[in-house]
Amino acid sequence: MNIKHLLTEKTQAAFVALGLPADTNAAVTVSTKPEFGDYQINGAMAAAKLLKTNPRQLAEQLLAHLSLEGIAEKTEIAGPGFINVTLAKTWLAAELETAAIDTRLGVSTNVTPQTVVVDYSAPNLAKEMHVGHLRSTIIGDAVVRTLEFWGDKVIRQNHMGDWGTQFGMLIAHLEDKLAAGVDLEQVGLADLEDFYREAKKRFDDEAGFADKSRNYVVQLQSGDAHCKKLWQLFIDTSVKHSEELYKKLNVTLTNADIKPESAYNDMLQGIIEDLKTKALAEESMGALVVFIQELADKDGNPSPFIIQKTGGGFLYSTTDLAACQYRSHTLNADRVIIFTDARQALHFKQVELVARKAGYLRDATMYDHCPFGTMMGEDGKPFKTRTGGTVKLAELLDEAVVRAKAVVKEKASDLTDTEVEEVARKVGIGAVKFADLSKNRTSDYIFSWNAMLSFEGATAPYLQYAYTRVRSILRRADISDSFMAKVQLVEEQEKQLAVKLLRFEEILQQVIKDAQPNLLCNYLYELASLYMTFYEACPILKDGVEPTQRDSRLMLSIFAARMLKQGLELLGIETMERM
């Protein structure tokens, strides 16, 4: 059920009756104030401009042709030509009953599934994953879950950085340690962060080490077996580390989704040759560069996009061009979505422009780089440890669970110790995820333990708690899982709740279009708040409530609980029966 769609279709039919094209923008929106009804049709104004007529008059004609019998109980023209629509309670009740018997909660089935490649998480291996990858991982996963729920074919791709120049340095350091007789167990790979730091120090300070490192990179990239064996050690350790994190985070990525930079290695030389043949790339100071006129600076200097370094090394950029070819031509993607921080915006613009010109991206493939802002500390500076280091993701998540446990213990009266552990895990991880997901993706945000673990406001604990409250009402009502009853919407709070429940599909469509899970977060928060308002105004299990009324309100409650659970699940946040 998508009310916005329905009203759009009805409006467009009315436009056609008035001689306007069938795709005239109906501009249906949700009303901003209760006195404007539930939805507004705003298309008359633009259409009047097109017809060079008076917008209010056109709105009147439109209204005369608009067939909303049974759907709306009131329609009204306001201002310069808005049409305010108040939906009929009986219609809403019937729609809700239909949605309630549906396992998809009334969300229609996607009739034109798309193949969508989603590139997310993508940590750089041989380093611990840090908070910068948190955003990519959880935003990407929420979008993936939503796409799959809607019915698209999603191909997850974890474009791990496993092929960069840092590996030359790491291999050189490892080789020296092994040559000095340190056995593999003692080498210190378990703490890759430390190992990395040691190697980096030698790279910066030790004469000859940097050259040696560069040499190893070339050997590695040209397939030297010994280098590859050592490299694999780093990869295995890192992958294991990320696997544990994904599990902790309740993220759907598995090892099968790893399609790292190295996977494109065999394509890179071909890409270089091809770009040369197509006269897109040229030599400049020993390197191979595509000069992009479309992205020229204000003085007209084209934007340089380096695809091969002096000395022959390939780059991040070369790999991304190969990835375009693979995703668009081999996987046949209709859409590619990539989540990285905003600093890579120029890179992906360059990739898209070059890939389109060279034919690596088909016209039919949408290429969406979805940037996100930086996670800030409470001091307003990028989130760091107290000593200024990068915050390790694993430690951050452990801290979240510890803090959540304190919060849960304070609130919970009758949970066993095991239950407290379980609830704390879900609340802690959920809190970190919701705090991130609920912010507008493109803006920076401040990471605050107190805010995210609060039971007030738009937080995971608030929503999880709201869910347990509805569930506890349902337990007290002692009804079966398949409980069904007639829905009757009498009070305004009942109606508002019903309208909200029927908006789920609308929200999902928007989340998919904009790759913005915060829209779903807002929706769930508003839904939970509306439920609380409804519950206070409309008694359910109190003495004196008519059985038909009680049953109708139980129907609303069951549906609200299912919606909260489903919505949180799309965000990758777990719920519990009690807390």
- Interface ranges with ligand ARG (CB under 6 A): 119, 122, 124, 159, 161, 320, 323, 338, 340
Nearest distance from residue 71's CB to ligand ARG, in Å?
45
Nearest distance from residue 158's CB to ligand ARG, in Å?
9
First to last CA, the chain: 33
Nearest distance from residue 114's CB to ligand ARG, in Å?
19
Question: Is the distance from CB of 501 to CB of 527 less than 8 angstroms?
Answer: yes
Query: Closer CB to ligand ARG, residue 119 or residue 436?
Result: 119
Distances (CA, A) of 508 to 106, 143, 463, 533: 12, 10, 18, 24
Question: Is the distance from CB of 7 to CB of 41 less than 8 angstroms?
Answer: yes
Indicate the Cα dihedral angle 88, 94, 99, 100, nearest 10°: 120
Nearest distance from residue 164's CB to ligand ARG, in Å?
9
- Burial pattern 359-395, b for ≥16 Cβ within 10 A else e, equals ebbbeebebebbebebbbeeeeeebeeeeeebbbbbe
Query: Closer CB to ligand ARG, residue 289 or residue 338?
Result: 338
Query: Closer CB to ligand ARG, residue 29 or residue 344?
Result: 344
Query: Closer CB to ligand ARG, residue 344 or residue 529?
Result: 344
458-462 long-range contacts (CB < 8 A, ≥24 apart) are: 458/434, 458/521, 458/522, 458/525, 459/431, 459/434, 459/435, 460/427, 460/430, 460/431, 460/433, 460/434, 460/435, 460/568, 460/573, 461/404, 461/407, 461/427, 461/430, 461/431, 462/525, 462/528
Query: Closer CB to ligand ARG, residue 325 or residue 464?
Result: 325
What percentage of the chain's residues is helix, strand, coil (to nearest 5)?
55, 10, 30
Nearest distance from residue 336's CB to ligand ARG, in Å?
9
Residue 510 burial (C-beta neighbours within 10 Å; 0-12, 13-18, 19+): middle
Nearest distance from residue 320's CB to ligand ARG, in Å?
5
Nearest distance from residue 331's CB to ligand ARG, in Å?
14
Query: Closer CB to ligand ARG, residue 307 or residue 338?
Result: 338
Residue 336 one-letter amino acid: V
Question: Phi and psi for 381 in degrees, rounded to 5?
Answer: -105, 160
Distances (CA, A) of 476 to 94, 145, 472, 479, 534: 26, 32, 6, 8, 18
How far is Cα 250 from Cα 248, in angstroms, rounded to an integer? 6
Query: Closer CB to ligand ARG, residue 147 or residue 338?
Result: 338
How far is Cα 166 from Cα 174, in angstroms, rounded to an integer? 12
How far is Cα 29 from Cα 85, in angstroms, rounded to an integer? 10
Question: Is the distance from CB of 271 to CB of 325 less than 8 angstroms?
Answer: yes
Whether the CA torsion 200, 206, 209, 211 is positive or negative: it is: positive
Nearest distance from residue 319's CB to ligand ARG, in Å?
7
Query: Closer CB to ligand ARG, residue 202 or residue 369?
Result: 369
Query: Closer CB to ligand ARG, residue 78 or residue 366?
Result: 366
Question: Is the distance from CB of 425 to CB of 355 less than 8 angstroms?
Answer: no
Q: Tokens at residue 343, please?
A: 């600093």
Q: Which residues are bridge partners to 99 per DSSP?
A: none
How far is Cα 351 from Cα 320, in angstroms, rounded to an integer? 7
Query: Closer CB to ligand ARG, residue 72 or residue 258?
Result: 258
How far is Cα 510 from Cα 150, in angstroms, rounded to an integer? 12
Nearest distance from residue 122's CB to ligand ARG, in Å?
4
Query: Closer CB to ligand ARG, residue 338 or residue 431?
Result: 338
Nearest distance from residue 117's CB to ligand ARG, in Å?
10
Q: Largest alpha-carbon pair distance within the chain?
A: 89
How far is Cα 57 from Cα 80, in angstroms, rounded to an integer? 9
Query: Closer CB to ligand ARG, residue 47 or residue 271?
Result: 271
Nearest distance from residue 337's CB to ligand ARG, in Å?
11
Nearest distance from residue 323's CB to ligand ARG, in Å?
5
Nearest distance from residue 565's CB to ligand ARG, in Å?
32
Distances (CA, A) of 52 to 17, 21, 57, 364: 17, 15, 11, 36
Bridge pairing between strands 281-284 and 153-157: unpaired
Neighbours of 528 (CB within 10 A): 24
Query: Closer CB to ligand ARG, residue 124 or residue 166?
Result: 124
Question: Which residues fall within 8 angstroms of residue 261, CB to CB, at 6 or more apart?
Answer: 159, 160, 161, 162, 163, 164, 316, 319
Query: Closer CB to ligand ARG, residue 261 or residue 574?
Result: 261
Nearest distance from residue 137's CB to ligand ARG, in Å?
11
Query: Closer CB to ligand ARG, residue 265 or residue 340?
Result: 340
DSSP 107: P
Nearest distance from residue 124's CB to ligand ARG, in Å?
5
